[in-house]
Amino acid sequence: MKNIIKGLLTASCALLLVFPGGGCKKLAGLDLQENEDHPTHTIDPRINKTAWQLIKDRSSGNPDSIFSRMYQGIIYSGIDTNEYTQPGRTFILLNNGAVDSVITGKVSVACYFGHYLVNGLPGTKWQDYSPAQVKTWLQYLILTKNYNYNFGSSINAPDLVVLNATNVSAPNLMPPGSDTLNPQSTLLIELTDDRTSSVILNSFAGSAYPTTMRTAGYVLTNGSAHVAQNVVYYQQK
């Protein structure tokens, strides 16, 4: 007991030396950290570009080429690029990994080339597929309404459809009947019901492949854009 009391007294003395009178500015000869105000702010999601300008800019290598595979697919497919400048739309953009991704030496089934096989094997280039197939799939990724987060009245577009944790069936440009597994050209969009509130596509009971967006919430001059890093398709298990 004597040793315990002695130890407590020693610790108390040490604390008094470190914080004499509660006004000490130093600890072991070093200045103590002072409180500073750190105002918080939300990053402005507006990028002041159309979807087409964004795709082209970020396929050029300046500042990066993250959409270069998508750009190549657009050009190869023959889709009218004016579709990417039309107002009031939502564009699901594909980063390079969503088109072609190799994991541990194998093409991932989570990318377009790995999911849509050619003679039982993954594709290696857009030319392995017909332009019509590529065009149809790109049409599926252009939604004819503007779906995005509620950023507030100073940012929200007048035609904004605010996303929440309830699935919305989003009309898109893929002609019905183009996909035998998805004859109604259904694409569902919602926010995940968690603290991240990520944009997720085709998440429903029995979905074979829900796709969570890598980044989301771009506000374009002609709508909104969300970026996928995996292939997007609608299919029941």
What six digits make up the tokens of 86?
């039309």
| Residue 9, pLDDT score | 42
| Residue 148, pLDDT score | 98
Q: pLDDT tens, 135-153?
A: 999 999 999 999 999 999 9
| Residue 37, pLDDT score | 67
| Residue 27, pLDDT score | 55
CA distance 125 to 123: 6
* Length of the chain in terms of residues written: 237
Cα atoms in the 13 Å half-sphere on the side-chain side of 124: 2
Amino acid 150 reads N
Find the DSSP H helices in the chain: 2-18, 51-57, 68-77, 96-99, 112-115, 131-140
Parts of the chain with a pLDDT under 50: 2, 4-22
Residue 17 lies in a domain: no
Residue 1 lies in a domain: no
Domain that holds residue 58: 51-228
Overall domain count for the chain: 1
Q: pLDDT tens, 51-75?
A: 999 999 999 998 899 999 999 999 9
| Residue 12, pLDDT score | 46
> 77: how many CB neighbours lie within 10 A of its CB?
20
In order, the DSSP letters of 127-158 are: GGS-HHHHHHHHHHTEESSEEE----TTT--T
**CATH number where 206 lies:** 2.30.180.10
CA distances from 111 to 10, 32, 59, 85, 117 (A): 65, 52, 18, 26, 11
Nearest Cα neighbor of 172 from 133, 145, 210 is: 145
| Residue 112, pLDDT score | 98
